[in-house]
Amino acid sequence: MTPTLAPEQLLLIAREFCALYNVRISNFSALVAASAAAHARIEGLPVHGSPRAAAHALGEVLSKVEALSGHNREFAALCERVFLALAQD
């Protein structure tokens, strides 16, 4: 089962991450784009064949479309891990 990680949930993760790493959210659209990438569907069919592929898409977007003022790779990796942890529940 592919978990849901909504933009609002990514925002909560980002806020905690920002407090820990002393950075700020600089691009809220990146959070929305990352969530959309993880849950992408075409004609009702999932684009990703596994939760791991969906997590990778989420991380790719967050790495390339930077949501934070710094530490974006670390944030992307964290979000991938959270996504995969939700997939195991």
Let me know if residue 83 belongs to a domain: yes
Residue 50 lies in a domain: yes
Looking at 1-89, list the stretches that DSSP marks H as alpha helix, in order from N- to C-terminal side: 7-21, 28-38, 51-64, 72-88
Q: pTM here?
A: 0.93
Residue 33 has pLDDT above 70, yes or no: yes
Domain with 67, as residue range(s), is 7-88
State the total domains in the chain.
1
Residue among 88, 82, 73 at smallest CA distance from 35: 82
pLDDT mean over 25-33: 98
Q: CB within 8 A of 60, min separation 6: which ones?
A: 37, 76
Query: Is residue 68 predicted with pLDDT exceeding 80?
Result: yes
